[in-house]
Amino acid sequence: MEADSILTVMTKRRGRIGAIAKGVRKQNSRLRGGVQVFTHNDMLLYQGRSLDIVTQSECIEAFGELHEDMVAMTAAGYWSELVEALVPEGEQDLSLFQLVLAGFHLLCLAANATVVRGLEIKLLSQLGYSPVLDRCVSCGRALSQGFEPAFSTNLGGVVCSSCIGAPGSYEIKRFSHEGIRVWQQLIKMDLSKIRRLKVTGEALAVLEEILEAFITVQVGRSLKSKPVLKSMQL
């Protein structure tokens, strides 16, 4: 029905699920205030065949900053789309739930490029998609300052200068030692400290290009919200 809304919900107990809020678009719907985008809610769900049915929902946290700033709102939309694209449906993972929720908290404080790169890298790492960064993914050669690294999105890692153009390595992107170092730092760094990380504009630009290409390979398509966010953060 036109008054219904299909929701994507990240839950503590059941991971990412789909749900339907019936009649929520009606002005007098009692669910209306509890199923807004980018909100943390206490929901009561009835488990259906394909979609759960939202029977009750109370907003715990509304993340007002995300609704008051266009860049923050766009970043939150991208974060939501990224989670939906990468996180398998129905897999319970409390730490993943906590990361998704923490991402919205962080975007309320700062929705800049460093924070968005940090969230991308944290999510990829937690889901087991981290690329090989400490050696050449093709020949195994250890990284050194003697050569300028590149990144192969299809092989999933850094490639040395000798392996660029080798059979099987394509979709090569230029990389840098600073970019590698920042990626490794962001994997280990506490989310609350990401805003303090000092990164050059050049390294951020390189990281963004590589992460966008790498995520596209993992997802199998481009994310619709990414170009919009990218234009707003220029």
Low-confidence ranges of the chain (pLDDT < 70): 1, 145-146, 167-170, 234
pLDDT of residue 168: 65
- Vertex 122 angle, CA 116 and 124, to 5°: 105
pLDDT of residue 82: 98
Helix and strand numbers (H, E) in the chain are 7, 7
- What residues does each domain of the chain span? 1-62, 63-234
Total Cβ atoms within 10 A of residue 21: 23
pLDDT of residue 23: 83
- Report the distance separating Cα 196 and Cα 205, nearest Å: 18
pLDDT of 46-103, one tens digit each? 988 889 999 999 999 999 999 999 999 999 999 999 999 999 999 889 999 999 999 9
- Look up the CATH superfamily of 1-62: Nucleic acid-binding proteins (2.40.50.140)
Domain 63-234 fold is de novo design (two linked rop proteins) (1.20.1440)
Residue showing tokens 């970043």: 75
Tell me the HSE value of 80 on the side-chain side, using a 13 A CA sphere: 17
pTM of full prediction above 0.85: yes
**Is residue 16 within 8 Å of residue 84, measured between CB atoms?**
yes
pLDDT of residue 1: 59
